[in-house]
Amino acid sequence: MYTRIYILRFPKDIVDQPIICQLVKQFDVEFNILKATILPQHEGVMILELRGHKDNIKKGLNYLKGLDVKAESVATSIHRDDEKCFQCGACTGICPTGALWLKRPEMAVIFDPEKCSGCGLCVTVCPVKAMEVSLDKISNLSETVFEIH
């Protein structure tokens, strides 16, 4: 099962349509709405966790793109500050996707952004706050994501 968190931005003319339900009906992609809001200019913004087969999620995202919905992976907003990280390994036990893993025999903690779902668990568990979210990319909505998890 592939899981990713996305920020979706809906143009104002389709903001009231049940588009997200089509992800289940047409593409067999489960979703969990973490946050939804209408911005002052009436653009809709939604933070959504998608679960399903990787190919189906890709098809679902293409469907959304065809409706002019912009989708941005939250995972691209997570990075590690290697200056702060002291390789304690605490994050490797909690990371659900294997994006943070222990390389043996070096015992080095590796971060693979390609596998990161953007769940935020490592942000809360790291004792020195080495795992960070780029707030400039996902705005203040990110705080909501990490409160939920």
Residue span binding ligand SF4 (CB under 6 A) among the ranges 26-34, 42-50, 82-90, 135-143: 82-90
Pick the piece of the chain touching ligand SF4 (CB under 6 A) from 43-51, 55-63, 127-135, 139-147. 127-135
Cβ(95)–Cβ(121) below 8 Å: yes
Residues in CB range of 98: below 8 A, 6 or more apart: 112, 115
Q: How far is the CB of 24 from ligand SF4 (least distance, A)?
A: 23
The Cα 72–Cα 61 span in angstroms is 10
65, containing H or E segment: helix 54-66
Could you tell me the smallest distance in angstroms from the CB atom of residue 30 to ligand SF4? 17
- Interface contacts to ligand SF4, rule CB under 6 A: 78, 80, 85-91, 94-97, 99-100, 109, 116-122, 126, 128, 130-131
